Each structure stands twice: as structure tokens, then as C-alpha cells.
């Protein structure tokens, strides 16, 4: 099984998800999204495939997220593409789908 994880090595949930993928025997592509951010279109594709809105993928704990309180999905995607710290992590994609690893157990659905 192939998997891609949008990963922040400083995040315990992200490290936990990566370990889960390795334990499952996945061939993992790791994208450190703060260094190599996904494009706006890629984010839109990932969230659509996950069946979630961009707002559900917004890291609301970040100070810059406060300005997006009343923003629509397009504005949220634009903000995430411009400032990838706003992307909640970890985001994992396999052939079976895309899941946000919060909680980490959600990733098991696509293994």
C-alpha cells in the first residue's frame, strides 16, 4: 500500500500517524508541508476526497486563523496555500481515501 502523509515532524500526532503507517507496512511518501506546501488546488482535492470542508482542515489554534472566522471555503484555501501553518495535520492519503489524523485512529479507516 502506498501512502502520502502531510507531516510536521515537530507534531506528536503527525509522528504517531507516520509510525502507524510504517507499522502497517505502507510505502510512505512524507511531505513536510511547511517546507513543501501543497497548492490550493491540491488542498481542495484532498479535502474533497476526505469528504470534509476546508474549514474542518483549518488549524484554528493558530493566531492567523482568527481572521478566517467568517471566511468562505475559497478564502480559507487561499490562506492555507499562502500560510501552510494553517493546515491541520497530519493529513494522510492512500488509495482508499484521505483522512485527517485527529484522532490518529481515523487513519486506520484508509489502511
The length of the chain in residues reads 111
- With both helix axes pointing from N to C terminus, report the angle between 73-82 and 40-50 in degrees, rounded to the nearest 10: 130
Phi and psi of 88, rounded to 5°?
Answer: -70, 145
Residues annotated as catalytic are 11
Q: Which three cell numbers stand for residue 39?
A: 497548492
Amino acid at each position: 500500500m502506498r501512502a502520502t502523509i502531510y507531516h510536521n515532524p515537530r507534531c506528536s500526532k503527525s509522528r504517531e500517524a507516520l509510525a502507524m503507517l510504517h507499522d502497517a507496512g505502507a510505502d510512505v511518501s512524507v511531505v513536510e508541508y511547511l517546507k513543501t506546501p501543497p497548492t490550493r488546488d491540491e488542498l481542495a482535492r484532498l479535502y474533497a476526497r476526505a469528504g470534509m470542508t476546508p474549514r474542518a482542515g483549518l488549524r484554528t489554534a493558530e493566531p492567523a486563523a482568527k481572521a478566517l472566522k467568517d471566511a468562505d471555503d475559497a478564502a480559507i484555501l487561499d490562506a492555507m496555500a499562502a500560510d501552510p501553518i494553517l493546515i491541520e495535520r497530519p493529513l494522510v492519503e492512500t488509495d482508499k481515501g484521505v483522512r485527517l489524523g485527529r484522532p490518529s485512529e481515523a487513519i486506520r479507516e484508509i489502511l
